[in-house]
Structure 1
């Protein structure tokens, strides 16, 4: 009996020195590493592995793909990865961190990957004009704005203060509106206006 107890004790002492990891097998695609992790695909789902080869974000269907040459895959930048969620047939965009937790709730009509802790997104604003007495309903309209956000989702700058009117209905909004702004230098952005001409906007970052 004492010999058995000794063997059990030795095994228990050795367990902490052995490591167990989840193995990623039968993958359909493996992306290059970015921000310390690499995207992996199985069937129609994507996950992420770390630099030890262990799966750190399990396979899921809400990760947004970015095009790189002939390939499309999700990517982390500044510890943020784009996700999407459909509400009433409309697609909204947000972000997760490397634990897989949602850190910016999907609420933007479109959004870019982060770069230098900043991203460009389309902020949706709802405006109420008043009540229609005949129908007994509030009259509302929607506009969206090109904005810059920080890694917590806080809006830093409005790049097109006039905004763009939009019909928030899945019949008319079958795909996300395009982001029409781009950063060209530290605090300088180029914004495409309704006349398809570029306007230079300087912010006070």
Structure 2
């Protein structure tokens, strides 16, 4: 009789144990919650869970993070783990010469700002600073290869992906992959519409922006 009760208890316990294993996944890393979502990592992929521990954005390999990030650096090099700010989370895509370009997804996981920036900050007060890359087709050369010129502009961009203020042209930002370094940002927002930027003679200036234009 004693053995029968033990087997009965074991049979009753097994479904609960299996359920517990299913409902409590194991992650390599869990980032802090921000805007109701927390990034979770398995290997080199990240996804997002909500405050009910439910996965709301599945694991993907294009989210921006750097385990050795210096978080004092503005832009992509200072991002320790993925997170949402103003409803936007940064992604990257390898493009010209396998150089990463950066954009953003929304909380549904959809790309809402295309990867068109060589460097960009996370959003703050619905704006970010980024180095935007524009392609200009110049035709074909004598061996029928397309010639494309790249124009780089440091800009203020809003959460809809609209460039709301051009700050300055940036030259020689894109080079061969073996010599490539992420270009540093020369401007930062110190208020919703107050811009601090470095001048050509390496000094600092401040400009009041009219973002309602």
Q: State the TM-score, normalizing by the size of structure 1.
A: 0.76
Deviation at 1:180, TM superposition (A): 1.7
Bigger strand share: 1
Structure 1 position 81 matched with structure 2 position 95: no
Partner of 1:60: 60
Cα gap change, 1:104 to 1:111, in 2 (>3 Å): same
Check whether the contact 2:64–2:79 (CA below 8 A) recurs between aligned residues. no
Cα gap change, 1:201 to 1:24, in 2 (>3 Å): farther
Check whether the contact 1:109–1:176 (CA below 8 A) recurs between aligned residues. yes
Bigger helix share: 2
Partner of 1:125: 134
Root mean square deviation of aligned Cα:
2.7
> For 1:43-192, what aligned pairs fall within 5 Å after superposition?
43-65=43-65, 67=69, 72-87=80-95, 88-127=97-136, 141-160=149-168, 162-173=169-180, 175-192=181-198
Check whether the contact 2:92–2:100 (CA below 8 A) recurs between aligned residues. yes
Q: Which moved more, 1:139-148 or 1:107-116?
A: 139-148
Check whether the contact 1:24–1:55 (CA below 8 A) recurs between aligned residues. no
Corresponding residue pairs, total: 181
Name the SS for the 2:83 alignment partner. coil
Check whether the contact 1:94–1:107 (CA below 8 A) recurs between aligned residues. yes
Query: Aligned partners of 1:196, 1:124: CA distance in 2, in Å?
Result: 23
Q: State the TM-score, normalizing by the size of structure 2.
A: 0.73
What whole-Å deviation, never above 9, does each CA across 1:147-179 have from its counterpart, x for those lacking one? 11111211000112x433334432332x32122
Name the SS for the 1:189 alignment partner. strand
Query: Aligned partners of 1:138, 1:30: CA distance in 2, in Å?
Result: 45
Unaligned 5+ segments in structure 1 are 1-21
Unaligned 5+ segments in structure 2 are 1-21, 73-77
Query: Aligned partners of 2:160, 2:24: CA distance in 1, in Å?
Result: 31
Cα gap change, 1:24 to 1:104, in 2 (>3 Å): farther
Query: Aligned partners of 2:88, 2:150: CA distance in 1, in Å?
Result: 28
Cα gap change, 1:138 to 1:54, in 2 (>3 Å): closer
Query: Aligned partners of 1:194, 1:130: CA distance in 2, in Å?
Result: 32
